[in-house]
Amino acid sequence: MLRVPRSWSELTPAWMTEALAAAFAGAVVDAVEIGDVVDGTNSRARIGLHYGSGRGPERVFVKREGRVLNRLALTALRAREAESRLVGSGVRLPLEHPAFYAAAVDRRRLAAVMVMEDVTLHGGRPSQATVALSVEQVRNGLIGLAGLHATYWGRPLPDTLGFVQPWRLGSVWAPVSWASLARGLHLLRSGGHDRLIPAGVDARVIERGFRGWATVAAAGPRTLLHGDPHIGNTYTRPAAVTGFYDWQLVRAGNWSHDVGYFLVSSLSPTDRRAHERALLADYLAELTQQGVGAPSFTEAWAQYRRTPVFGLGTWLHTLAGGGFQPVEVCLATIERFAAAYADHEGA
C-alpha cells in the first residue's frame, strides 16, 4: 500500500515508481526533481521524473496536506480524504479532468497525497482567478458538468461512492461562521474595497443565506457534484476545452450548486449579465440530450438566481481565514459573486 510521505523529500524514486505502477507498468523512476512548492489550502508541486527503464510521464502533479490549520478546516468540511477516496473508487467522471495515477490517506496524521497528470504537458493551461474565462470556455465547462450530472442524475450513487455525502452545515457552527464573515467584511472595508459589499449586506444576512443555500444544494434531484468548481479549480486545453481538478469537496446534491458556482466565479460581471441565460439554456439542453428530464428554464433560472450568496459567503470565509488563497484571488472572486448577488438576490 502506498505510504503517505511526511515531507517532499520522501518522494524518492522508489516511492514514485510505486505510485506510477498501476498506470505505467514497468516504469522504474531513477531520479526525481521537485519543482517549486506552492502552499495554499493544500501543498502542491510539479515533480520531474527520469526513468531507468520503462516509460512514464516526464512530469506529474502532486498534492499533499497543507498546514495543520488547513487540515483541520478540511476535516470540518469532510474534505480531507474525499478526493483520495474518489480516485481510489475508480468511478468514471465523464468530463475533462486530469488523469489520476495514485492516492493514499494517513488518517492518524490527517494527511493525504495524490499523484495526477500535469495537464500542462498536453497543452493545458491552469486558469487564473484574476483573469475571467471567455464565454466559450464557460459554455464548454457547463457542457462537461452536464455530462457528469446526467450520468448520476436522480439515482443512487455506486457503492464505491458511499463516502460522498450531501452538503451539511450544522447550526453549531453558525456563530463561528458569523464571526468569520464579519471579519471578511471588515477586511474589505479596511482595505478600501467597500464597493465590493452589496447594499444592505452584513454578516447576518450572508450567514443566513449561506446556510440556507447549503440546504438547497443538498436537495434533489441529487447527482454527483464536483462541489467546488470555481474558476481557480479549472484549466483549459486547446479549442476552449475546460477541465476541472481539485475534487476534495465532491458532494451529492442539486445540479444548480455546480452550475451557479462555476458560471458566476468564471465570467466577468459584464459577460455574465449578457450571457448567463443562454449559458443556462445550453446546460439544460445538454441534460436533455443525455436523456435527463431536465427542469424547465423558468424553474432552473429561479434556482440559479439563488446561488450567488453561497459563493459570496465562501470567499469571504476564505479571505477571513488567510493563507488559503492569495488576497488578490479572493478579491477578484468576491467581486464576481457580489455583483451577481446584487443583480439577483439583492434586486
Q: Which helix (H) or strand (E) holds 315?
A: helix 308-321
Regarding pTM above 0.85, the answer is yes
Domain ranges of the chain: 8-122, 125-343
Domain 8-122 bears CATH identifier 3.30.200: yes
| pLDDT tens by residue, 98-121 | 999 999 888 787 778 899 999 999
212 contacts: CB under 8 Å, gap ≥ 6: 309
**Beta carbons of 119 and 96 less than 8 angstroms apart:** no
| pLDDT tier at 303, thresholds 50, 70, 90 | very high
- The answer to whether residue 304 scores a pLDDT higher than 70 is yes
Q: Quick one: which of 298, 299, 308, 296 has its CA closest to 344?
A: 308
Least confident span in 42-51, 61-70, 172-181, 233-242: 61-70
Q: Find out whether the peptide bond into 221 is cis, omega within 30 degrees of 0.
A: yes
Q: Which residue has the cell 506510477?
A: 20
Write out the CATH class of domain 125-343: alpha beta
Beta strands across the sheet bearing 125-126:
125-126, 234-237, 241-244
- The answer to whether residue 76 scores a pLDDT higher than 70 is no
Mean pLDDT across the chain: 91
| pLDDT tens by residue, 273-283 | 999 999 999 99
Q: Identify the pLDDT of residue 308.
A: 97
Q: Quick one: which of 140, 126, 100, 138 has its CA closest to 248?
A: 100
49-75 as b/e, with b when 16 or more CB fall inside 10 Å? Answer: bebeeeebbeebbbbbbbeeebbebbe
Mean pLDDT confidence for 27-44: 87
Radius of gyration of the CA atoms of the chain, in A: 20
